Amino acid sequence: MTWRSFDVKGNSQIFVADLQDATLRNIRQLTFKSGIHWAPFWHPSEKWVLFSANSDDRKNFELYLVNTEGTCLKRLTYSHAQDVLPVFSPDGKQIAFTARKGRYSQLYIMPFVMPSHCEDPRLHRTPQSLLHFPPPPPQKH
């Protein structure tokens, strides 16, 4: 199961969870940057979630991909259009989405390529969180 949740500043984040016997289990937050993260869509393998976000440019939505453990985030589009409402093809080999350039939207299709490298979105929680790692355990000499 996947959903987005808003914070008090108006940012939305994407979450996933396992649904067992009408109970949510293993809830995981997948996105951490500021901005709006929305329209999540599962890959048929159930290992990836595709979504739109304006976290890198508040005026423009792009497509992103994150694994369901929340440890691998990859931006997929870099355009001046509003890239939104992404979906995977049933076989998971293509991504369809709408992009609005100016007044009109068009449907686009692009191949899905498994990311060879990505960033860990958990490192984007806050600038301060990078400064406050827990101290390492004492070393025995």
Residue 79 lies in a domain: yes
Residue 135 lies in a domain: no
- DSSP assignment of 109-121 equals EEE----SS-B-G
Residue 105 lies in a domain: yes
Residue 102 lies in a domain: yes
Counting Cβ atoms within 10 Å, is residue 13 exposed (0-12), middle (13-18) or buried (19+)? buried
Q: What is the mean pLDDT of each run of 10 residues along the chain (141 residues)?
A: 91 92 90 93 96 88 94 92 96 96 91 84 54 51 51
From residue 86, alpha-carbon distances to 26, 35, 72, 128, 134 in Å are 25, 18, 18, 32, 38
Residue with tokens 């940057």: 33
What is the model's pLDDT at position 129?
A: 43
Domain that holds residue 29: 2-113
What is the model's pLDDT at position 138?
A: 59
Residue 121 lies in a domain: no
Q: What are phi and psi of 123, to 5 degrees?
A: -80, 0
Number of structural domains, the chain?
1
CATH of the domain at 92: 2.120.10.30
pTM across the whole model: 0.81
What is the model's pLDDT at position 140?
A: 58
Residue 128 lies in a domain: no
Q: What is the dihedral of CA 68, 125, 84, 40, to 10 degrees?
A: 30
What is the model's pLDDT at position 101?
A: 84
Residue 42 lies in a domain: yes
Residue 123 lies in a domain: no
